[in-house]
Structure 1
Amino acid sequence: MFDLQRLRALHAVRQHGSVAAAADALGFTPSAVSQQIGKLEREVRSPLLERAGRGVILTDAGLVLADATDSILTTTEQASADLEELRSGVAGTLRVLCFPTAIRGLVGPALGELRRTTPDLTVLMEETWIRTTERIEAGHADLAIAHDWVDSPIDLPAHLSQAPLMEDPVDVLLPAEHPLAGRDDVLIDDLLDAPWIIDTNDGSICSQWLRSQMAARGRIPDIVHRVDEYPSQIAVVAAGLGVSTLPRLGRPDLPSTVRTVPLRGERPVRRVFTVCRRASSRRPAIRTLIDALRARADHP
């Protein structure tokens, strides 16, 4: 009988290509992962890893065990789902990962409703947007609320299940005294000369969208401030220092000195969805949580 924790360590090394990356995904130290794999090697009396450049690859014996671990983890998840379905009512504990704006506009209110309607279900939420799918794969969380963009969807491994929740359009954020602040909508052509406030990540969808829209018109955006947090962006716009873009989900209350105006034509739109392991997607607790999130998404 092999120790499941040791098998998970080997499985993570195959997924992530190195002991250090596996340790990061599992939340352990590289030394701890190496120790687990070392114990497994002594147990099977065969080397399981060999060096390949800066990383490692699995030996034939390692591949056999990693493939078996796939089956073991899937079977364990399916057994848990079957057992949960046999119980009366929805109960248990779910560990959920969530990005910040979804907590404010979607998850927080949904969990508040679940606390009243399903008191035997405990949901432990963690705010994060970093390596959420890897943590779901590794079994460190049960469900993630994630997002991508309609024009740039992410690809998930086949053993993960995705359930759509909502689409989240992006609007323009303007100072209240701006000449366009009273419009029903605006075009990007109306803002070619505007001073822009964008985030610090040039690879973000909003940054890429702005640059591509400007480039299509032979222009370069006048970027005057780089600010990540939405409340901080709002404060900078409120001071009359520029314009910005802002998704609708989880949008905080705006001061009287700021207006949001919808974009007309091509605009960035976020897709918000849940991610869980496919083998656990039948669990009544997970289905109940997804239903609660969808009900909240229908009435934001």
Structure 2
Amino acid sequence: MLDIPRLRVLRAVVATSSIRASAAALGYTPSAVSQQLATLQRETGLRLFERSGRGIEPTAAGRILAAEADTLFEAFGRVERVVGDLRAGRVGSLSIGYFSSAGSALLAPAVAALRAEFPELRLDLLLTEYTQGEPDVDIFVEESGAEHPGAVRVHRLAEDPYVAVVRADDPLAGLPEVPLADLAERHWVDNDLHEGTCRQVLLNACAQAGFSPGFVVETHDYRTAMSFVATGIGLTVVPALAIGQLPDGLTTVALVSPTPVRRLSVAVKESVARHPAVRRTVELLEELVSGTRTGRRPGGATQAGELHARPERFGADRR
């Protein structure tokens, strides 16, 4: 295999027609340049230069080899630029896993910012509730007793309290907060497709309050559940992050004694943890979570609660 630095010397000598000038340009001594050329001639078995007066002149073979080397070094230049871009996070791909209620509240604004800052970065978004795989960055809900798979760094994003969603004419609508046990005799609208971590957080809190929710309607997502609440069938209990824009005629009430809380975290693969776009993704998620607040809702009244941001690193679990 030809030696790349020697080809670089060949190109310089062909371009300058001078060993001394080439040595100055490359930072070598003239004798080192001569030695490199002699070695290259032995490696190729070609006569690349010949004497011309007090200097040297490239042969036809030397010129052809130097011209071909130009193409090689153009390719190397492109590779070096790609390496620089990768270090700066400008190209390549990044996969981000998320769960449903993180999509609009966290993922959409984070992706918009990433596209603006890293326009050549391809983003692959994976709804981890329905797809397999281990994304580079994974937004997830901690599950007690379970560990996130793989070699990852885990950052706590927030504690996300649950709130009751009720009609604006409900007797609870004017209250700043309500003990969870006061909902024991109410009709509930279920809102979780899977009996996963988010639902278990709620059921555990209800058990602590001494009852099991009386579900009269089973729906598979928060938005549909809230539309049923609007009909007067019952109430639903939803993490604050999942509220978004409440339908007209609904409001939220904070829950206490106890307050159901799910813990949101982001796991980053160790192999990509230093990538600028990955670091920026974590920063954006922390900024979005810490800035997420729910204000007064139409019809009444109450604050839905707030996300308590805790951007610290710790060992956590996967949903």
Q: How far, CA to CA, are the matches of 2:127 and 2:241 in structure 1?
A: 15
Per-residue deviation, residues 172-222 of structure 1 (Å, max 9, x unmatched): 111221101111111112222111112466844555455555555654432
> Contact conserved, 1:84 with 1:283, CA < 8 A, in 2?
no
Which of 164, 167, 172 is matched with 2:159 structurally? 167
Q: Secondary structure, in 3 states, of the residue corresponding to 1:165?
A: strand
TM value normalised by structure 2? 0.58
Q: Say if 1:198 and 1:244, in contact at 8 Å, map to a contact too.
A: yes
Could you say if the C-alpha distance between residues 273 and 153 of structure 1 is closer, same or farther in structure 2, counting changes exceeding 3 Å?
Answer: farther
Task: Single out whichever of 220-229 and 98-107 deviates more from structure 2.
Answer: 220-229
Does the 8 Å CA contact 1:195/1:224 hold for their aligned counterparts?
yes
Contact 2:190/2:220, CA 8 A, preserved across alignment: yes
CA change 1:84–1:285 in 2 (3 A) is farther
Identity percentage of aligned residues: 27
- Tell me which residue corresponds to 2:89: 90
Pair 1:292 & 2:284 matched: yes
Residues 209 and 282 of structure 1, relative CA distance in 2, 3 Å threshold: closer
Structure 2 CA distance, aligned partners of 1:107 and 1:156? 20
Q: CA deviation at 1:235?
A: 0.5
Q: How does 1:1-300 map to 2 (within 5 A)?
A: 89-92=88-91, 93-130=93-130, 135-136=133-134, 141-148=135-142, 152=144, 154-157=146-149, 159-199=151-191, 203-205=195-197, 207-208=199-200, 211-215=203-207, 219-300=211-292
Contact 2:209 2:257 in 1 (8 A): no
CA shift at 1:170, angstroms?
Answer: 0.9
Alignment-mate amino acid for residue 148 of structure 1: E
Task: Name the SS of the counterpart of 1:233 in structure 2.
Answer: helix
Q: Report the TM-score when normalising by structure 1.
A: 0.62
Taking the aligned partners of 2:275 and 2:131, their CA distance within structure 1 comes to 23
- Shifted more, 98-107 versus 245-254: the winner is 245-254
Corresponding pairs, count: 210
The amino acid of 1:186's aligned partner reads: V
Contact 2:193–2:219 under 8 Å retained in 1: no
Residues 59-82 of structure 1, C-alpha deviation per residue, up to 9 Å, x if partnerless?
xxxxxxxxxxxxxxxxxxxxxxxx
Which residue pairs with 1:78 in the alignment?
none
Distance change >3 Å, CA 211–CA 98, structure 1 → 2: closer
- 8 Å contact from structure 2 (residues 186, 235) kept in 1: yes
Q: CA deviation at 1:249?
A: 1.5
Give, in whole Å, the separation in 2 of the partners of 1:224 and 1:161. Answer: 41
**Where do 5+ consecutive residues of structure 2 fail to align?**
1-81, 293-319
The residue matched to 2:256 in structure 1 has which SS?
coil
Given that 2:87 and 2:276 are in contact with CA atoms closer than 8 Å, whether structure 1 keeps it comes out as: no
CA–CA distance in structure 1, aligned partners of residues 158 and 111 of structure 2 = 17
Between the aligned partners of 2:205 and 2:155, the Cα distance in structure 1 is 31
Question: Relative to 1, partners in 2 of residues 1:153 and 1:105: Cα closer, same or farther, differing over 3 Å?
Answer: farther
**Whole-angstrom distance in 1 between the partners of 2:153 and 2:118:** 24
- 1:63 match: none
Give structure 1 stretches of 5+ with no counterpart: 1-82
> Counterparts of 1:117 and 1:219 in 2: how far apart (Å)?
49
Q: Which has more radius of gyration?
A: 2
Matched residues in 2 for 1:264 and 1:218: separation? 14
Q: What is the deviation of 1:294?
A: 1.5
| Deviates most, 281-290 or 212-221 | 212-221
Deviation at 1:246, TM superposition (A): 0.8
